[in-house]
Amino acid sequence: MKKLIILLVLSFANFQAESQNNNTFTANYEVTYRLEYSPDSTDIKDKSTEDFYLFIGDEKSKFISVNKWVRDSMIVKMAKNFNGSHINMSKRKTPKTKFYEIIFKDYENNQIKVSDRIGGDVFLYSENISPYIWQVNKDKKVINDFKVQKAVTEFAGRKYVAWFTEEIPIPQGPYKFEGLPGLIVQISDLENHYNFQLISFMELKGEKEIINFDNNKNYIKTTKKQLHQTKQDFFDDPISRIPFDLTPQDKRRIKEKYKKQNNPIELDQK
């Protein structure tokens, strides 16, 4: 485990050095969503939750797990203090995340870039931004003090109901969702396997710089379909991608853990 932490620190040290040369975009808004989801399709009543940031700029946006954002920031700080021989493990309390995916939208180039970590490897794929086909209904109600309106769509094998507010006329939402005449306050699929709910909205007034996605040579370039298959192979045999020795008990625990990760948000990977 210590070897893995050292590798992480070194990789983030390299990442930090590269990031200083990367362009950034100015986030005008910081939106926080809470996701309640069913990771195991055979036990949909077993729910998990995780929070996400959506940083919105003029022509770019970035969607990332709050825990991953905090975790990455902490490891970068560790990298700054790394002397090549010692890491103070007693103070290492990095938050855990089950979502290593980062979704970056570049509207100038009409592209979405998605990175995801599987085992010790980080993958990257790009796809064009495709407009959603929304059916906006007349139904209205109030969610978290926002007046919202109903809209429905289909995406990647699931049907979704969204509630958006024109009180915040920003055509954005959690994950890859967008294209309504106001910010998405809540969106869930009809089976309620994935349910995103807005928990905070903040205008940043140009005070936050967010690192652009970079075509870093350390990424393994892939496609969405190939990434899905790689992830499925990993869930079937997670031990093959773990770069350190494990006890038999740990192997059994990890296999059981990933066996239950069988309900991805995107069922259709085309």
190 domain-assigned: no
185 domain-assigned: no
Q: According to the model, what pLDDT value does residue 13 have?
A: 44
**Mean pLDDT over residues 167-185, rounded?**
97
Q: What is the mean pLDDT of the chain?
A: 85
Identify which has the larger pLDDT, 174 or 268.
174
Return the residue matching tokens 């932490």. 5
Instruction: Please name every residue paired with 53 in a beta bridge, in sequence order, or none if there are none.
Output: 32, 64
80 domain-assigned: yes
> Among 71-75, 77-81, 157-161, 256-260, where is mean pLDDT lowest?
77-81
151 domain-assigned: no
Range of the structural domain that residue 247 is part of = 2-128+200-259
Return the residue matching tokens 């855990």. 96
Is 21 a residue whose pLDDT tops 50? no
192 domain-assigned: no
Give which of 38, 40, 24 is closest to 206, Cα–Cα: 24
Q: According to the model, what pLDDT value does residue 82 have?
A: 60
Confidence of residue 155 (pLDDT cuts 50, 70, 90): very high
216 — alpha (psi -120 to 50), left (phi > 0) or beta? Answer: beta
* Total domains present in the chain: 1
Q: According to the model, what pLDDT value does residue 79 have?
A: 61
72 domain-assigned: yes
Confidence of residue 236 (pLDDT cuts 50, 70, 90): confident
219 domain-assigned: yes
**pLDDT, tens digit (0-9, with 9 covering 90-100), for 188-223:** 999 999 999 999 999 998 778 888 876 556 899 999
**pLDDT, tens digit (0-9, with 9 covering 90-100), for 119-148:** 888 999 999 999 999 999 999 999 999 999
Asked if 259 contacts 43 with a C-beta cutoff of 8 angstroms, the reply is: no
Asked if 202 contacts 55 with a C-beta cutoff of 8 angstroms, the reply is: no
110 domain-assigned: yes
* One-letter amino acid of 15: F
